[in-house]
Chains A and B, each alone.
Chain A
Amino acid sequence: MALLQPLYQIHEGFVARGRRLSSIILSLDTLFGVFALVGIAGLWELLAYLGVINGTLLPPPSALFQEVFFEDRLHFFKLGYVQSGARFAIVNSMAASLFRVLAGIAVGFPAGIAAGCLICYYRIVARTLYPVVRLLAPISPVAWLPLAIVFFGIGNKPAVFVVVVGVFFLIAVATVACVRNVESLYVNTARTLGATRQQVMLRVVLPSILPSLFLILRINVFAAWMSVLTAEMVGVTEGLGAMVMVGRALFNMRVIFVAMLLIGVTGFLLDRILLLVQARILWWKREASLA
């Protein structure tokens, strides 16, 4: 009988985990957020209707929604054509930008961890690679852009490259800091259980620093998001960054505003995607870092 109660608690724990995943997406907080947004949009619309604000410089939401369906001027610049060849400029722009930042993270995050671990594992790497990393890390990802365009030409590659560079240096430096800070309790326990240095690194240090690294990635993901947009404004013909530039070229505030709104929405989606990935790969981590 005594065993039954803890078992029940465990079951509760699993249920709570499932509930948490869904509550991230649809909670009361989200609902309030939606209401607040609708409220602000309504106020904006009202002020524009009353003529308090200039509808040309600050187009009201209703005009923006019309713009979404008035795609011809975007197609003139072939926005979104590269992705699907179809006439979904806005969806394609979002998809293109999101793909670039996710691809950059998918390459940069593991590479940064690997570099950080090698720096901590081999003294020779620490003495050779680490100073280079420390020197290059402060260079803004966007500053790599001209170089990337010369190397890779116009297209997806320079935009992805910029994200890779940003995430790589961030995570490499963070990994070194995390490894040096790792819980000695776990390391010593593994050592007395017979783990070799390599086993300690791969099977104890790595899993124990992963939650912090993922948190650092999530905090900094908007920096990566911004660097993609900058890359698109300069060297790519599609994506949300390019859409902003098209709006500027046309002196069309509506396109600019639509693009900006989409940048915000997509950035928000990006954070949610990472949150879901985090809940999946860091299953042992509780609330504290999930919230």
Chain B
Amino acid sequence: MPRLTATTGENDGQGHSIMNEARHSEFSPVVLECRNVSKVWTNGSAEVEALNNVSATVSRSQIYAFIGPSGCGKSTLLSLIAGLETPTSGEIVANGELVNSPDPSRCLIYQEPSLFPWLSVLGNVEFPLSLRRVSKEERRTRALALLAQVGLAEFAHAFPHQLSGGMQQRAAVARALIADPELLLMDEPFGSLDEQTRYLMQQFLLEVWEMSKKTIILVTHHIDEAIYLADRIFVMTARPGQLKQLIEVDILRPRDLLSQEVADLRTQLFRLLRDEAKMPAPPAVTRQTGMTT
């Protein structure tokens, strides 16, 4: 049986209950901390509460998955962590520094193919280095080496539209890795791929992780994907997103998706998500502007 450390059930509204346990994890120092993060999107006079009091701690070289019903604010959380948006209240600290702008140490990979269509695959992978005025030879050498590692050496001079969806995502991962980020943020990176390609890409991501030992935060709505990849799974509630439960996955890799322990975990996750789906989606919280938090 897997050791499923399902910790403190419901979020107690203060938001820190879950995380205090993860903070003292066996090894790995903390690379990222979300403290009581809330986000309210304002659209005219209407306000939509996307995230409510989310606290989470992320340790180095682990894979985290955020899973939850659609519209629960998973993607919002990622763009907050990436620094593309700022939280309405609460704070995000990466490596002891407050996150308030994007930084190449926290790279975000989207679901949609995000390679720049006007650059070749090589040009795309070189892009982060060229921003930093790395010499042309070094850029080329490093990009080609990385492309070889992700199995795209032959396609260095092809353009993105000539690659399949899976190849494009592999190139996007290479582009993210070349900047040597601390954190790899992935927003449903394999969501638009077919089932077989998705499975290959999950294996690919594990290879990348073995090789680079990056910290990876993955947003998904795919239960099996979370189980197959993650060390820890954060289950989120329907909107406004709160952390419902943290599940540690202590199953040895490579994980067999047909094994009993995976099946048990899948059942548990399915129940948690089904409960969220049963609840009528809370209506957009509408308040007068200026009365946030």
Cα–Cα, bound, A207→B131 (Å): 16
Digitize A163-206: 1 where CB-to-B-CB distance is under 8 Å, 0 elsewhere: 00000000000000000000001101111111110010001100
Cα–Cα, bound, A194→B103 (Å): 6
Cα–Cα, bound, A204→B115 (Å): 11
Q: Is B27 in contact with chain A by the CB < 8 A criterion?
A: no
Kindly name the residue among B117, B118, B119, B179 whose own CB sees the greatest number of chain A CB atoms within 10 A: B118
Q: Is the CB of B112 within 8 A of A185?
A: yes
Q: Is A131 in contact with chain B by the CB < 8 A criterion?
A: no
Q: Is the CB of B132 within 8 A of A194?
A: yes
Digitize A1-45: 1 where CB-to-B-CB distance is under 8 Å, 0 elsewhere: 001001101100100000000000000000000000000000000
Total residue contacts A-B, CB cutoff 8 A:
73
Interface residues of B, count at CB 8 A: 35
Task: Given A6-B164, A185-B112, A195-B131, verify A284-B103 contact (CB < 8 Å).
Answer: no
Q: Is A83 in contact with chain B by the CB < 8 A criterion?
A: no
Contacts of A204 in B (CB 8 A): 116
Q: Is A208 in contact with chain B by the CB < 8 A criterion?
A: yes
Q: Is A127 in contact with chain B by the CB < 8 A criterion?
A: no
Q: Is the CB of A185 within 8 A of B110?
A: yes
Contacts of B103 in A (CB 8 A): 192, 194
Q: Is B102 in contact with chain A by the CB < 8 A criterion?
A: yes
Contacts of A188 in B (CB 8 A): 79, 82, 84, 102, 108, 110
Main SS of the interface on chain A? helix
User: How many residues of A sit at the interface, in one of the four size bands?
Assistant: 20 to 34
Q: Is the CB of B155 within 8 A of A193?
A: no
Q: Is the CB of B118 within 8 A of A10?
A: no
Q: Is the CB of A13 within 8 A of B162?
A: yes
* Chain A residue, CB-CB nearest to B132: A194
Contacts of A13 in B (CB 8 A): 162
Q: Is the CB of B179 within 8 A of A193?
A: yes
Shortest 5 CB-CB contacts between residues of A and residues of B: A194-B104, A191-B102, A192-B108, A207-B118, A193-B128
Residues of A in contact with B (beta carbons under 8 Å apart): 3, 6-7, 9-10, 13, 185-186, 188-196, 199, 203-204, 207-208, 210, 283-286
Selected A-B contacts with CB under 8 Å, 25 pairs: A6-B155, A6-B167, A9-B162, A10-B158, A13-B162, A185-B110, A185-B112, A188-B82, A188-B102, A190-B127, A191-B102, A192-B102, A192-B103, A192-B106, A192-B107, A193-B127, A193-B128, A193-B131, A194-B102, A207-B116, A207-B118, A208-B116, A284-B117, A284-B159, A284-B161
